[in-house]
A and B are shown apart, each in its own frame.
Chain A
């Protein structure tokens, strides 16, 4: 008897987030569409033609700095205040740098090919530094065995791999 009668849940309750977690995507979409329909019918809107977005290619600016490219206001001459003189060079070169950046590319001190060559050898040597002890021993063995005795120690050569437990 208790199993047959199911309390009827209201629509609002069903629309709540925790009730929708169990639903599949299709029912969710259906519910969403129904909601939108309800909203759009009641929703008031203006019956006007769409206004064109204003051209956004003019920026209004109330300051003179970007217009006239003014220099930095603190200045010092003939070494009166060395810190300010350093600052002057820094600030005013920032403005000029922006102009120069566009034009020239940085000349590389080292050519690309040399860089690639160095990198090849470098990766190997520095990589060895970070090997664990076991792997280092393996490497050493490899180097030693290169002379001749490959057959004597095959078992130690093999790295100990993880053995998956069989069911």
Chain B
């Protein structure tokens, strides 16, 4: 009860124009323009001894998608739920981000996406990744590619790669190798299979560390799955029917509850 009162207070403070504490809004809906205040940096408050999370030398706080830095703290730029992750592991110092839903993808550096080759222009392939512009991919950005040994890429092929350059001022560039020169799973996606599009939120749900949907599906049939952060999923199973079943489940599971999903899968495994 006390927690909910604190949250209502935070919303009221936000509406009044003052910022609200970031910690109070975790799990709440935030709107663009809201200011989230962060606890003061320990160096400024040298006198006060802070116990708990603030005491250790603070790692950098990660300000994720949907948030921007501003003078007072963090400024929200997208509407959605505010999420927080405690310090430790890959996000030293904790992380805040806004969990929002959208279908249109905006290229981000480092994201792994599925692209469709639309044109071959000399040494460069043009890929459609679902963004505002087509991404370019050099023919040398494949593992083991040299000037003599070109990769066998045709128009209409599917490519799994990551963004090397992706900002609003330049054309996005993709590569199919990582920093050490190995492909590590990227490159041309093989023959057959089925490509379809879902919303970005579902992709993130499916890629979460312990995703029940994926675990349940993996019990059904042997199949192969490629998830691109641009909302595209490619599925391949032994027969066309199995492939289509998996596609339908993945498309529908966004709006099904866990119960409904288990029922649907039970029916299928019965068949």
Contact = CB atoms under 8 A, between A and B. Distances in A.
A84 interface: yes
B12 interface: no
Given A71-B207, A73-B229, A58 B221 contact: no
Given A62-B108, A76-B225, A80-B223, A67 B214 contact: no
Contacts, number: 121
B223 A78 contact: yes
B165 to A, nearest CB: 13
A63 B65 contact: yes
Interface string B87-115: 00111010101000000000011111000
A60 B77 CA distance: 13
Contacts of A79: 222
Contact of B160 (A74, A76, A77, A95): A74
B61 A70 contact: no
Given A76-B224, A76-B225, A66 B90 contact: yes
B83 A69 contact: no
A78 B218 contact: yes
A69 B62 CA distance: 13
A69 B207 CA distance: 9
A70 B221 CA distance: 24
Interface residues of A, number: 33
Contact of B227 (A58, A62, A75): A75
A73 B223 CA distance: 14
A13 interface: no
Given A63-B65, A67-B97, A73 B207 contact: yes
A57 B208 CA distance: 27
B225 A59 contact: no
B64 A87 contact: no
A58 B68 CA distance: 10
Interface string A36-68: 000000000000000000011111111111111
A95 B204 CA distance: 17
A61 B64 contact: yes
B69 interface: yes
B209 interface: yes
A59 B222 contact: no
Contact of B110 (A63, A67, A87, A99): A63
A60 B108 CA distance: 13
A79 B227 CA distance: 18
B167 to A, nearest CB: 9
Interface of A: 55-81, 84, 87, 91, 95, 98-99
Leading 5 A-B pairs by shortest Cβ distance: A78-B222, A77-B218, A70-B207, A80-B222, A67-B64
Interface of B: 38, 41, 58, 60-65, 67-69, 74, 83, 85, 89-91, 93, 95, 97, 108-112, 160, 184-185, 204, 207-209, 214, 217-218, 221-229, 236-238
15 contacts: A57-B41, A58-B61, A58-B63, A60-B68, A63-B111, A64-B64, A65-B110, A65-B111, A68-B208, A70-B209, A75-B226, A75-B227, A78-B221, A78-B223, A98-B90
Given A61-B62, A62-B108, A77-B223, 19 more contacts: A56-B60, A58-B38, A58-B60, A58-B61, A58-B69, A59-B60, A61-B65, A63-B65, A66-B91, A67-B85, A68-B97, A70-B204, A70-B207, A70-B208, A74-B225, A75-B225, A76-B222, A78-B218, A80-B236
